Amino acid sequence: MVKKKGKKFRPNLKQVARKRRILEKKKKKCRSAIKVIKENWEGNKTPRENLMSMGLAFNANEAVPVKQPRREIIDMLPIEGLDLEEARVLGTVAEQRLKKQKRKKLLLQQKSKKSCESIRKFKALKVISCLESEVAEEQSLRDANVRTVRLPDRDVELLIYLAERYGEDYEAMARDPKNLFQYTPKKICSLMKIYRTSGFHKVIEGMC
């Protein structure tokens, strides 16, 4: 029997193309203006490894360490006009610096709190004044535009009759037999206010 040959191995072209793109990107990471460094740059290595392989220093401080001047140790000797106890109470230079920094922070916090409070007060006053002015404008517009409510003819006839007969006695108006809809004294009072602002009342007063 003839054995079937297996399929030939074909690499995944997408993965190969992806690897190529990644390598190209790594190679492009070298942004040096010197051509020699660009030519010898290896994309698989880090910048430190590349520079070390080229014999260059990645960090100048590591390659050439800075020599600090020699400082003599100062003992706690008595100085004219200063006691050792006072110096010990003050503490070391580092402790004094920390104390100064804490004081500065506290002062800044207090100033920031005061400024925030003043800003909040200013904003609150501004907002309140704006709202009050808007309310006053709306109220003036409402007062200027008088609300006109139109009553039905049957109510107008009833109110004319009740006003002529009873005057201001709203309880008697409510007990009148012509009050077919059984309006309460309060309802009749509100209707009478609307009627007195209408044109019917003005015409009747002019006729009288």
Per-residue pLDDT of the chain (208 residues; tens, 9 = 90+): 556 666 666 667 788 888 888 887 766 667 676 767 777 777 677 778 777 777 777 887 777 777 767 666 555 555 555 566 666 677 777 788 888 888 888 887 787 777 767 766 775 676 667 767 877 888 888 777 766 667 888 888 899 899 888 988 999 999 999 998 899 999 999 999 888 887 777 777 777 6
Range(s) of the domain holding residue 185: 153-205
Secondary element (H or E) of residue 19: helix 13-28
Domain identity same for 178 and 139: no
Q: pTM for the whole thing?
A: 0.32
Q: Is residue 67 one of the residues assigned to a domain?
A: no
Q: Helix, strand or coil for residue 79?
A: strand
Is 137 in the same domain as 171? no
Distances (CA, A) of 198 to 12, 35, 168: 92, 97, 18
For residue 80, being part of any structural domain is answered with no
Do 201 and 158 share a structural domain? yes
74 within domain boundaries: no
7 domain residue, yes or no: no
In a domain, 96, yes or no: no
Quote the number of domains for the chain: 3
Given a contact cutoff of 8 angstroms between Cβ atoms, the answer to whether 188 and 174 are in contact is yes
